[in-house]
Chain A
């Protein structure tokens, strides 16, 4: 009889436990099914010169970062100084995928904030983004010499992730 009145409390305790565990988790860490799979191929015009085409196979033979960004994305601006610093350190080439953006804005953005990219592919309609399972901008992929995706970062890069995860991984893949 008395137990019945404890039921709401019991339900709440269960919910609270899950909420507590949930706090420890990062909702952005969605595992990508593409990890350890070949990076989807693409063929897109570059931002610098619309007549030039950039494909996935251009980068075969080197370890590279593929950074998905857009001029409309606030978090991209947050991580941008890190990318610029990384490109100056000359550790790994960074290629960009300009996602659902327009050329003028994107170019303006790079002029304003600096261009860390060796080259930027323009994915205006976001089709390549779909192939890569882009979940939210920005995202960064680590792709190895054979064109296999090794790591995916959803959301902006941080110094911590770069130092402790991406750079060691790049060094290891570079051999």
Chain B
């Protein structure tokens, strides 16, 4: 009964989208107040019905209802409760439902936090989101119904994919989807602005907090996925350039470009049509990611069940949404005008470079991901593009990017001077170069890429501190007062950039100094890796709730022979799926991880054991979390907390160092007072 209610709720939600996607938009164009007023209640109704469907499915999982096909395929009576709940998004149909549910959460958020927005703008935004929601609900109901019954019911379920039975992965998809789907808000704002013809600084200011929240979730989601693959796949890698990873990374790159471009549009009124385009691209890439993952056009380790009918539907949807938006763009954008002018050397130019580099980076990831498909479509054979391509292209694009990141916050709006910048930053540069040369010397091995990575990271750090110091210098008597006067959004930017530096250090150190050893070890054998002695003490069998495990014991001691830790890598066989998974055992540290995983049992009773030494690997994820924290700081900026109805003059900020316009503007978000 409950699953039928869920199914019915989805249908009702679809009916509501028919209203939400049409009347408010038409009402806004024709100025019919009653139709405009429909937007909010209808969107809230959507949330209620999709939520009802979502929790009905979760209930079916919790209650072991194996007469629901999707539950029978993805759960099992031995599956622990938290995983039964997370199993809702463990397969194709359920992840779509999660997608739709999260979209409805975003819609609800728009209805709640938009009291200061003009009603016609809200109506358009919610209308566009309703259209997106309509596409997804139609997709679900026609090709991927999560509530399909299995009659007669299965005695027991086939269990959730063992790789997904992990605390990290239960949170990864919701986070990622919050980000993915969150770009739909920025997208809807862009389309609404194009529809109304009012592409102004106010539009950029409304879009900014939404874009920041989505970007934050996406950053955390990607980092969580990377962290998961690090300890769960047992290869010690943290990024594989797998098509599915790329699918989440492309919207991130585009979203990052969008964040920066929105800042320019808000403060200087420039880049308007470019910003709109980025908002369209960011969401289009989210949709494209969904298409790539769901349609089976590309093979991937993440591959879900593939079905060409689904692929065709998503492609058609993609064509309607993206094609439609780009046609609208082509019609409306030429009327937008240029906005504030700026000199070749200025903060605007630097931000434009940032935009271009991010877009090119997203483009090259797209190219690498689609290249095999394109070659195949043209009948030129099959091949796959691997990490060598991505690593290479990425290093080339990101190196200048990080270098410019050091300059950007210091350069002035409108007109900056290169010689002046060079003089001001000479010491930052010298310190970075020296550090980049000294650190490899201490570590004992040097390579050009190691130095380059460190140079960029320290360049970022030193420029950030130079920037802070230059603020203090204006009032050396009361440095703290000077620092306290800086707006929260300024610190937000610096923190996010610091996160990038931490990330770059992590990547550079791991790539340069990691040690990976595969040893075959009999009981009692020792191996010495990076000064640590690893002694293999054998394997015992252990039983988990729905799996049996072979648990290894590896005693780790340091140079003095003192015990450091005992590692317990496992090989698990999940009963229902007879699918072994590797549980690496990690002894974490701020400056290095010691990592062991079990390979295969050997004929002589020993095992092949993988031992990794990973210096600074944690910094990779720390860096991402610091970036996301920067986003959080930006949201708590006063401008977003206090909504004062006052239109600021566009382009009033002329001082490069002052990031907040003096007149606090009206806001889309006004959560806390």
Choose among B273, B296, B322, B376 the residue with the greatest number of A CB atoms under 10 Å from its CB. Answer: B376
Among candidates A16, A23, A31, A136, residue contacting B323 with C-beta atoms closer than 8 Å: A16
Chain A 7-25 interface 0/1 with B at a Cβ cutoff of 8 Å (1 = within): 0110011011011111111
A51 in the interface (beta carbon within 8 A): no
Pick from A9, A21, A102: contact of B377, CB below 8 A: A21
- Cα–Cα distance between A71 and B577 once the two chains are bound (Å): 10
- B323→A12 contact, CB < 8 A: yes
CB distance from A77 to the nearest CB of B (A): 7
Cβ-based interface call for A91 (8 A): no
Other-chain residue from B281, B373, B600, B601 in contact with A22 (beta carbon distance below 8 A): B373
Give the contact stretch, choosing among B79-87, B312-320, B615-623, B649-657. Answer: B312-320
Min Cβ gap A24→B in Å is: 8
Residue of B nearest to A154 (CB): B299
B167 within 8 A of A: no
CA distance A167 to B334 in the complex (A): 62
- Tell me if B382 and A18 are in contact (CB < 8 A): no
The residue in B277, B291, B330, B600 that gathers the most chain A C-beta atoms within 10 A of its C-beta is B330
- B322, A23: Cβ atoms under 8 Å? no
Residues in B whose Cβ lies below 8 Å from that of A102? 600-601
**Distance in angstroms between the alpha carbons of A1 and B337 in the assembled complex:** 12
Q: Which residues of B contact A6 (CB under 8 A)?
A: 330
Q: State whether the Cβ of B423 lies closer than 8 Å to any Cβ in chain A.
A: no
Nearest-Cβ distance from residue A133 to partner chain B, whole angstroms: 13
Known contacts A9-B330, A102-B601, A109-B578, A25 near B322 by CB under 8 Å: no
Q: Is the interface of A mostly helix, strand, loop or mixed?
A: helix
Does the CB pair B326–A9 fall under 8 Å? Answer: yes
B374 interface residue per 8 A CB criterion: yes
Contact mask for chain B residues 307-335; partner A; CB cutoff 8 A; 1 contact, 0 none: 01001100100110011001101100110
- Tell yes or no: A72 within 8 A of B by CB: yes
CB-CB < 8 A to B318: which residues of A?
16, 19
Whether B312 pairs with A2 at a CB distance below 8 angstroms is no
Residue contact B311 to A23, C-beta cutoff 8 Å: yes
CB < 8 Å neighbour of A31 from B295, B370, B382 = B382
Tell whether, in the assembled complex, residue A23 and residue B308 are in contact, meaning their CB atoms are under 8 Å apart: yes
Judge whether A124 is part of the interface by a CB distance below 8 angstroms. yes
Contact A2 B377 (CB under 8 A): no
0/1 string, B371-390, CB within 8 A of A gives 1: 01110110001100000000
Contact A5/B273 with A18-B377, A19-B373, A124-B600 known, Cβ cut-off 8 Å: yes
Q: A18-B373, A31-B382 are in contact. Are A12 and B322 (CB under 8 A)?
A: yes
Question: Which residues 16-70 in A have Cβ within 8 Å of B in the complex?
Answer: 16, 18-25, 27-31
How far is A9 from B321 in the complex, measured between Cα atoms in Å?
Answer: 12
Asked if B579 is at the interface of the complex by the 8 Å CB criterion, the answer is yes
Whether the pair A72, B382 counts as a contact (CB closer than 8 A) is no
> Does B38 sit within 8 A of A, measured CB to CB?
no
**Are B329 and A25 in contact, CB atoms less than 8 angstroms apart?**
no
Q: Are B295 and A23 in contact, CB atoms less than 8 angstroms apart?
A: yes
**Contacts from A to B (Cβ < 8 Å):** 1-2, 5-6, 8-9, 12-13, 15-16, 18-25, 27-31, 71-72, 74, 77, 100, 102, 105, 109, 124-125, 136
List 9 extra interface pairs beyond A5-B334, A24-B308, A77-B578, CB under 8 A: A12-B322, A13-B323, A22-B297, A25-B297, A25-B373, A27-B382, A30-B382, A102-B601, A124-B600
A sample of 24 cross-chain residue pairs with beta-carbon separation below 8 angstroms, ordered by A number, consists of: A1-B334, A2-B334, A5-B330, A8-B329, A12-B323, A12-B326, A13-B323, A15-B370, A18-B373, A18-B377, A19-B291, A21-B377, A22-B374, A22-B377, A24-B308, A25-B297, A25-B373, A27-B299, A27-B373, A28-B299, A31-B382, A72-B578, A72-B580, A102-B600
